Structures are given as C-alpha cells and as structure tokens.
C-alpha cells in the first residue's frame, strides 16, 4: 500500500517543476491591482495626518498662551515677543519677564522649539497665528 501511494504521488507531480508563464503573469497582475488601490490611499492618509497634526499643535500653543496670560500679572504678552514669527516657545514671556510659554507647553524639542517646524506669530492679546513649513 505504501509503495502504491508513493508511485501515485510521483506520477501526480511528474513534469511539474515550476510555475508557468501564465500563472506568474496572473500573480503579477493581481499584485499590480492591489498596489494601484493601496498607494493613493496611503498618500491621502499621510497628508491628512500632517494637516491634523498642524491643527493640534496650533490648538496646544493657543491653549498654552491663554494659560500663560491667566498666570501673568498684566494679562498681555511682551511687546518684544509680539508680531514676530517664531518657533522657539521659550522666547514668549509676559511683561513681568518671569513666565515662559514653554513651561505651559509639553511635547517640545529639547531646545524649546515646536516639533512640526511651524512658526507662530503672537499678538499682545494672546491671539496666535500659525505658519506651516
């Protein structure tokens, strides 16, 4: 019985040593169709993620600015910090000179700059405008 099964399996595989050209072309066509569907969607997700990250960062900077103004004595930003685009959050202080925005903001680089490379322009009333790279 064992010999019969071995002979049957040998006869079944006789002459088949690889894939035919048609089989390989079908597999390549399937992979191409999958790639054509996936690649544009991945690019769209990456772009949407960057836009959402910019929106989250401006929200965090604006919230930190409001917290800074609430802690300050005068409730306004220094005139030297206003109207100039900057990415360093250590530079923005209140008129008392004792508070830095970086103390109210988490997720900054070690040097006090924002991670996404945006620049921010501050107005004396605490309004923040973002410029994306």
Could you report the per-residue pLDDT of 85-132, keeping only the tens digit for each?
A: 888 888 777 776 677 888 888 888 888 888 888 889 888 778 888 988
Rounded to 10 degrees, what is the CA torsion of 127, 60, 113, 101?
Answer: 60
Residue 25, pLDDT score: 94
Per-residue pLDDT at 4 exceeds 90: no
pTM of this prediction? 0.64
CA distances from 53 to 88, 92, 132 (A): 18, 22, 11
Residue 28, pLDDT score: 96
Residue 2, pLDDT score: 63
Domain map (residue ranges) of the chain: 24-131
CA distances from 33 to 28, 30, 36 (A): 9, 5, 5
> Where residue 52 falls among pLDDT bands split at 50, 70, 90?
confident
């Amino acid at each position: 019985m064992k010999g019969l099964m071995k002979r049957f399996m040998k006869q079944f595989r006789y002459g088949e040593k690889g894939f035919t050209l048609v089989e390989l072309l079908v597999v390549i066509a399937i992979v191409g169709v999958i790639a054509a569907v996936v690649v544009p969607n991945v690019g769209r997700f990456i772009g949407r993620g960057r836009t959402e990250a910019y929106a989250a960062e401006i929200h965090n900077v604006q919230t930190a600015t409001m917290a800074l103004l609430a802690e300050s004595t005068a409730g306004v930003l220094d005139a030297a910090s206003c109207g100039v685009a900057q990415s360093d959050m250590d530079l923005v202080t209140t008129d008392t000179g004792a508070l830095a925005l970086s103390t109210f903001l988490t997720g900054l680089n070690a040097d006090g700059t924002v991670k996404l490379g945006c620049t921010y322009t501050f107005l004396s009333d605490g309004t923040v405008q973002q410029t994306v790279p």
